[in-house]
């Protein structure tokens, strides 16, 4: 595969960069929120994403019949990386997880109702897979869906639903067959203003809000079943392959490394330049090498996706595992290299890197959990790529 971008692709990246310069707004872009900067959680962020829709940049890879342009996935990648590099909202859930799943498996009614809204950024979704006893193992979810007339009645609890407090629709899996673990889950779309839904906040160590969601006799019409009954785990697995790649971008990691490099170039310790310390030079060289590995792993996912067919499961897991663990190692290195001052809170002017080390140290732990923990990614790679038995 070719690891360089074509002239057309480079021109598109420059077009996006110019657009972002024109619409720069500190209330929309905030690199200090790290990976959580991608969520579209304020009116200003929603308005900005609507402008992306007006540019025709939402759903670029979708079929033309659904409002897309059937563009190559690399353009979506370039757009998302540019957004992530600015600490801006990204195209993740609506265009990727929900939109692409509806295109492949949704009814005509669901496509007609939701796809145009996604392209105009008129709707936000929360994703409900995790439960108190079903975190990384989504197939263990227990939230119960019982057939009731021409619909279903949902009862149970979800947890770690980050967008539930501002989204309009809940994309969630529920147990419709208690006797079949992997072939007994169904996907539903549920309005989050339903009177049977209770949302309770949980604050993370990264100062970001996520939520517990309780469903008490929530009735959902058959029209809002996504795809076939009991096929939800298959759809969730396909969507998670997209999530592992699109929601854990490379640009912010590269940016934090560049900031650390600039610090090491000029900082001193005990009167000696840090750049001359052989231990620090060795550590920085290792991080630089790992960054290039991460970049190429990401491009490999793009390349595999452009071939069509099933999502690149193992490549997405390899990228997600390596990049999020690298991001954590980079955060550790920033804390070590910048010394005691690195513990000062983010945006502290007197702190090394203005406190960026402290915030990334807290945020990066979360990234190794979202979209499936590092342990889950290792299991996927072991079974599907290396052919190892399930219980090895």
Report d(CA 248, CA 118) in Å as an integer. Answer: 21
SS (H, E, C) 276-343: HCHHHHHHHHHHHHHHHHHHHHHHHHHHHHHCCCCCCHHHHHHHHHHHHHHHHHHHHHHHHHHHHHHH
Enumerate residues 6+ apart whose C-beta is below 8 A from 337.
Answer: 260, 263, 264, 274, 280, 283
Q: Identify whether the C-beta of residue 98 lies closer than 8 Å to the C-beta of residue 116.
A: no
Q: What 8-state DSSP symbol labels residue 98?
A: I
Tokens of 353: 């890197």
Which of helix, strand or coil describes residue 78?
Answer: helix
- In contact, 187 and 235? CB cutoff 8 Å: yes
Contact (CB, 8 A) for 235 and 280: no
Instruction: Provide DSSP, 196-265.
Output: TEEEEEEE-TTS-EEEEEEEEEEEEEGGGEESSTT-HHHHHHHHHHHHHHHTS-SHHHHHHHHHHHHHHH
Instruction: List all residues 6 or more positions away from 126 whose beta carbon is below 8 Å from its beta carbon.
Output: 161, 162, 163, 164, 167, 169, 170, 171, 192, 211, 213
Among the listed residues 11, 124, 127, the one whose alpha carbon sits nearest the alpha carbon of residue 58:
124
User: Cα–Cα distance between 68 and 231 in angstroms, integer?
Assistant: 26
Q: Which of 162, 169, 225 is nearest to 197 (CA)?
A: 169
Residues 6+ apart with CB under 8 A from 65: none
> 154, 92, 162: which is closest to 121 by C-alpha?
92
- Distance between CA atoms of residues 285 and 275, nearest Å: 11
Q: Which 3 state secondary structure label does DSSP give 187?
A: strand
Which residues are tagged catalytic? 243
């Amino acid at each position: 595969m070719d690891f360089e971008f074509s002239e057309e692709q480079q021109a598109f990246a420059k077009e996006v960069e110019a657009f972002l310069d024109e619409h720069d707004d500190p209330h929309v872009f905030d690199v200090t929120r790290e990976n959580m900067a991608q969520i579209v959680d304020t009116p200003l962020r929603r308005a900005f994403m609507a402008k992306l829709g007006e540019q025709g940049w939402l759903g670029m890879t979708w079929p033309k019949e659904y409002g897309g342009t059937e563009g190559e996935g690399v353009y979506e990648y370039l757009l998302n990386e540019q957004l992530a590099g600015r600490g801006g909202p990204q195209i993740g859930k609506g265009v990727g997880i929900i939109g692409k799943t509806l295109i492949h498996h949704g009814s005509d009614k669901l496509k007609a109702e939701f796809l145009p809204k996604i392209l105009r950024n008129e709707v936000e979704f929360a994703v409900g897979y995790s439960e108190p006893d079903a975190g990384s193992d989504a197939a263990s979810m227990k939230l119960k869906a019982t057939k009731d007339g021409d619909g279903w009645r949902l009862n149970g609890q979800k947890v770690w639903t980050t967008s539930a407090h501002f989204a309009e629709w809940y994309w969630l899996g529920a147990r419709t067959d208690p006797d079949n673990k992997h072939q007994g889950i169904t996907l539903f779309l549920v309005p989050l203003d339903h009177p049977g839904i209770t949302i309770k906040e949980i604050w993370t160590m990264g100062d970001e809000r996520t939520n517990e969601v309780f469903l008490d006799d929530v009735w959902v019409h058959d029209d809002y079943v996504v795809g076939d009954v009991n096929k939800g785990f298959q759809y969730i697995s396909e969507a998670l392959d997209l999530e592992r790649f699109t929601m854990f971008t490379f640009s912010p990691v590269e940016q934090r490394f560049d900031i650390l490099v600039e610090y090491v170039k000029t900082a001193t310790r005990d009167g000696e330049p840090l750049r001359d310390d052989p231990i620090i030079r060795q550590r920085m060289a290792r991080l630089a090498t790992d960054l290039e590995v991460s970049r190429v792993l990401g491009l490999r996912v793009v390349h595999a996706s452009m071939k069509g067919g099933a999502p690149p499961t193992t490549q997405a897991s390899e990228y997600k595992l390596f990049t999020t663990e690298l991001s954590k190692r980079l955060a550790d290195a920033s804390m070590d290299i910048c010394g005691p001052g690195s513990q000062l809170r983010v945006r502290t002017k007197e702190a090394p890197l203005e406190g960026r080390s402290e915030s990334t140290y807290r945020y990066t732990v979360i990234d190794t959990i979202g979209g499936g923990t590092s342990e889950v990614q290792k299991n996927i790679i072991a079974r599907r790529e290396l052919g190892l038995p399930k219980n090895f």
